[in-house]
Amino acid sequence: MHQLPRMTHQMRSLQEKRLLSEKNQTSDMQNYSVRTDLAIEAHELYRTEAQIRGVQMERDEEPQIQVTRIEVKTEAAAKQIGKLKGRYITLEVPDLRKKDPDLQDRVARRLAQELKSFIQVPEKSIVLVIGLGNWNVTPDAIGPLVIENLFVTRHLFSLMPEIIDEGFRSVCALAPGVLGITGIETSEIVQAIVDRLHPDLVIAIDALAARSIDRVNSTIQISNSGIQPGAGVGNRRKALNRETLGVDVVAVGIPTVVDAATITSDAMDLLLQTLESKVPGNGAGQILGQFNSEEKRALITEVLQPLGNNLMVTPKEIDEFVDDIAHVVAMGLNVALHPSMSMEDARELTH
């Protein structure tokens, strides 16, 4: 019960902040503590009935797979939705959690198709693939696991060029670990390799954080705006992008976690809906109903953080999912990087 006065004070404080925000007519997403790495979610959180100026979005569907393409065209639009300028393609596959081999093959094939539009470099180019993340932490191990299943060829071009057929690129790969393991910033490691090898393209694979529980373990995002390691869990490291590395960077990310404040906020919304249907005009609905979803989430975050309870949460099936999605992403990458490789070849390489 001792938390009640404190929560009341926080709610009043939040109301004051909202009034001040409205007075100043500021609506940029940076005013909210929304933890998501997905452009589609950032767009949904900001979007009103009107189309966001400077953002183009289109959707494409096939059975069990929905593809959303978002292009952030202006700096003003990037500031509004909190995402860098660039192209973002999101594959949403709710049944990806069901361990369906046929669906996984279809997702890998579609991923390869979408990736090819980002890999606009000559066949004789060098491509560096970076598997970001901590291999000791299951939800963060997707990047290193993809690297284990990648078909790397740069050493073959150097040592045994006679065995390399047409239609294969020079690909090299590295899982650099994280700052807590190496004592070296990931960006410093990647920059050193780029300076030494001069690749024509860098592809970075990482685990992401989602705003929606439904998108955890069911979504793949591709973008050409680069990536900021650790951003989804609040550990912002130096970004990997063209500005920092001097070479184009394509990012492939899979959301594996969602923060506790988001889950609590969604549960509160469901509770309020249930209360309103059973007890119309109840006190809880009158008090909390005046706040929008992001304001309720901000209140929950303020309550949870001092207690050390604002955790990052992942589904219990994460072990199997991480292995499966790493194979899917590796197959898609192998086919996209090597024009002569078939999906059947890629499947054999990753099993």
Q: What is the pLDDT of residues 314-336, one digit of tens each?
A: 888 899 999 999 999 999 999 99
Instruction: Report the percentage of the chain scoring pLDDT > 70.
Output: 81
User: CATH no. for residue 69?
Assistant: 3.40.50.1450
- Asked, for residue 42, whether it belongs to a domain, the answer is yes
Residue 282 has pLDDT above 90, yes or no: no
- Asked, for residue 303, whether it belongs to a domain, the answer is no
- Predicted confidence band of residue 182 (pLDDT cuts 50, 70, 90): very high
Range of the domain at 238: 29-261+312-349
CA distances from 320 to 2, 124, 138, 146, 207 (A): 42, 36, 10, 14, 15
- Quick: pLDDT tens for 73-111: 999 999 888 899 999 999 999 999 988 999 999 999 999
CB 338 within 8 A of CB 349: no
- Asked, for residue 282, whether it belongs to a domain, the answer is no
As a whole number, mean pLDDT of residues 253-265 equals 85
As a whole number, mean pLDDT of residues 274-285 equals 76
Number of domains in the chain: 1
- Asked, for residue 305, whether it belongs to a domain, the answer is no
Read off the pTM: 0.81
Residues 6 or more apart whose CB falls under 8 angstroms from that of 287 comprise: 11
> According to the model, what pLDDT value does residue 261 have?
76
Q: How far apart are the first and last CA of the chain?
A: 55
Cα separation, 329 vs 203, in Å, equals 12
- Quick: pLDDT tens for 201-237: 999 999 999 988 889 999 999 999 999 775 545 556 6
Cα separation, 321 vs 324, in Å, equals 5
- Asked, for residue 168, whether it belongs to a domain, the answer is yes
- Asked, for residue 307, whether it belongs to a domain, the answer is no
- Predicted confidence band of residue 31 (pLDDT cuts 50, 70, 90): very low
Residue 53 has pLDDT above 80, yes or no: yes
- Quick: pLDDT tens for 126-159: 999 999 999 999 999 999 999 999 999 999 988 8
- Asked, for residue 295, whether it belongs to a domain, the answer is no
SS3 (DSSP) at 128? strand
